[in-house]
Amino acid sequence: MIPTESMQSTIKHTIMAFTTMSIVACNNTTQYPMTRQDNTTDNYFGHIVADPYRWLENDTSAETQQWVREQNTVTRNYIDQIPFREQIVNRLTQLWHFERKSAPYKKGEYFFYSKNNGLQNQSIYYRTPSLSEEGEVILDPNKLSDNGTVALAEFSLSPDGKYLGYGIARNGSDWNEYFVRDLNTLTDMPDHLMWIKFSAIEWYNDGFFYSRYPQPAANNELTAENVDNAVYYHRLGTSQDEDKLIFADKQNPIHSFVPAVTDDKQLLVITVTESTTGNALYTLDLTNPKAEVKRTINSFDKDYIPLGHHNGKLIVQTNYQAPHYNIVAIDINNPDPQNWQIIVPESDDVIETANYGNNHIYINYMHDAHSQLVVANVETSDTTIVSMPAIGAVGSFAPSKGEDTVYFSLSSYISPMQIYAYSTSSKQVNKVEGWGANVDFPFADYETEQLFYTSTDGTQIPIFITHKKNIVLDGNNPVWLYGYGGFNISLTPAFEIRRLLWLEQGGIYAVANIRGGGEYGEEWHMAGTLQNKQNVFDDFIAAAQFLINQNYTNPSLMVCQGGSNGGLLIGATINQAPELFRVAFPQVGVMDMLRYHKFTIGRYWATDYGTADDSEEMFQYLLSYSPLHNIANRNYPSVLVTTADHDDRVVPAHSFKYAATLQNAYKGSRPMLIRIDSQAGHGAGKPTSKIIEEWADLYAFAFNELGIVFKQ
């Protein structure tokens, strides 16, 4: 049941002394598992660095698995004693139970979309000849496993809509397997492709292009470095060992490739990466059977995002000499930048995403971290600013071939996803009734404000703050501060159902758009990388200080959370400013900054971080903030580390070593726990049931440590 307004007024917490019947008391008697230390060391430019928990990097060893079981037992015993944890599960389950439909798009005779009834572990995929008709199921990922741990990772329809190429990920791993479904019979064909990561299914003639890695050695599938990627062509109905090699680069084994076929079927465009920043572009003329792959752009200094092919020229979104990005047309036979034609010039706002189709480019700009849509006609150079129905984050703004109408989603922190239709001819936007998400929650009682605060060096940083209207700024409100700060990734105001529980309990949710992200272009990103990385931590610490100084909260009621690169953010922040926070959630974090590049695709992150092998200066800088290497016996907040056994993006050894070091060094009374999920990975594709269980643990831990009793 949704609380009434009068009920919600009683939910506002009161700071008071609770009995042990209400709150699990923090004490210094938590018995952590004994974690063996050894004498492993590394020599960096003459500096000896101890790594006593190196053995935890072997995640398949019996000793490590026993350690995982023992840590999970301690954590479960602690969290399961919190008396309102099951009430939180029930409330999250109520909130999650809402139907949602994605934005539709058309292929051949059908519209395609996904739908979830609310509590299904994975969304189901449908097709329909008309948006007014109920769809037919074409793929139900929930039937791929009993517990929802097999997730859809790739979904690609053939141009005529007769075949579906789809990829699955098992247990949250980044490894994908590809299958093909005949949509006439709704049955799978014999095609089964393995050892694929970060690829795409790009249809051409009677098959598709994709990229894959060699099969890794047994028991090293989740930790071994991924090298020797190559592009192949797979013909429908054949086995993978018959696939034709299209391109490989043995001289550069660390390069990875993502193929794309232009809509006119004239070009295969291969995006070549060696890091998370910058890429090259190679092309293959598909109209010439004797053509070879051409290195069209062979520099990795900037981003070159292929959008399409028009009148013999490749349309590319790039930040080359345009930190906020522009869109250019490149003659692949004469690709020197001096010959590029600028189609959409750089502006004050950053281009977040762009799509090309039907002679138009559909552009999603970021204006102070929220979306503004613009449509550019390639033939006439005319541009249209789309009249947005609300401030928020846009998704799925992609055209269907030959269609005048483009469908897109729009959401915000306090507005669930709604679907809108934009007509290229009339230039009008209309809401598509019955699509999007329908959540039973009193959103009108809440508001989001965007403010700006000053960081350590004087830089103005935007922050979104969401809370119940007419909140009293008396310094006694619980605040949940979230951040990321890396890899040119922007935090835009998208809807997350999990956050509603915090808001209705009287909490404030704050998102800081710190440097390292892409909110203001390349300069903003680079200001949080390499030897500027400390700016990221300073910005986040300044956000916490701002919230305290403005009387939103106080340190005894402050929670901080971040995942992946954001886990690094939390780990570094609570080493540097532990006094600002009462609870910390470093999730699937990069915690060992000296060895991160030695696992799976970790080397890709070096453009943001640098590596300890680069130079003595870079080693010293990484060592100065590495979460693992700066743990001491200080007054830490209560910490719950989270990771998963199948995370092959940021391998769980980061969190294992971090938690072991924290438990050994900290001598205070607050819990230093780690939650290690099973049959799960970095986060993508995690089933709804697992998400609810994880967030119930996070909320129970947070409320308990803050001294707040959850109320229904």
Q: Which residues are catalytic?
A: 564, 682
Closest CA to 497 of 2, 146, 96: 96
Beta bridge mates, 60: none
* Proportion of the chain in helix, strand, coil states, percent, rounded to 5: 20, 35, 45
Q: Is 48 in a helix, a strand, or coil?
A: strand
Strands in 455-497 per DSSP E: 460-468, 479-482
Q: How far is CA 623 from CA 364, 531, 535, 547, 575, in A?
A: 38, 12, 16, 29, 13
DSSP 437: B
Report CA 71 to chain centroid distance, whole Å: 27
Alpha-helix residue ranges (DSSP H) falling in 404-485: none
Alpha-helix residue ranges (DSSP H) falling in 131-203: none
Residues 113, 135: contact at Cβ < 8 Å? yes
Residues 504, 447: contact at Cβ < 8 Å? no
Q: Helices 534-549 and 616-625 sit at what angle, rounded to 10 degrees? A: 30
Look at the alpha carbons of 522, 523, 524, 530 in this order and tell me if their dihedral is positive or negative: positive
Closest CA to 584 of 658, 492, 501, 475: 658
Tell the residue number behind the tokens 């001491």, with chain if given: 632
Residue 126 CA to residue 112 CA, distance in Å, equals 6
Residue 81 CA to residue 79 CA, distance in Å, equals 5
- Which residues have C-beta within 8 Å of that of residue 583, sequence separation ≥ 6? 558, 559, 560, 637, 638, 639, 640, 701, 702, 705, 706
- Measure the CA angle with vertex 394, ends 381 and 200; round to 5°: 85
Closest CA to 478 of 315, 699, 147: 699
Q: How many residues does the chain have?
A: 712
Q: How far is CA 303 from CA 325, 327, 603, in A?
A: 9, 11, 18
Q: How far is CA 457 from CA 94, 165, 236, 635, in A?
A: 44, 50, 58, 26
Tell the residue number behind the tokens 């008071």, with chain if given: 16
Residues 130, 106: contact at Cβ < 8 Å? no
Residues 573, 540: contact at Cβ < 8 Å? yes
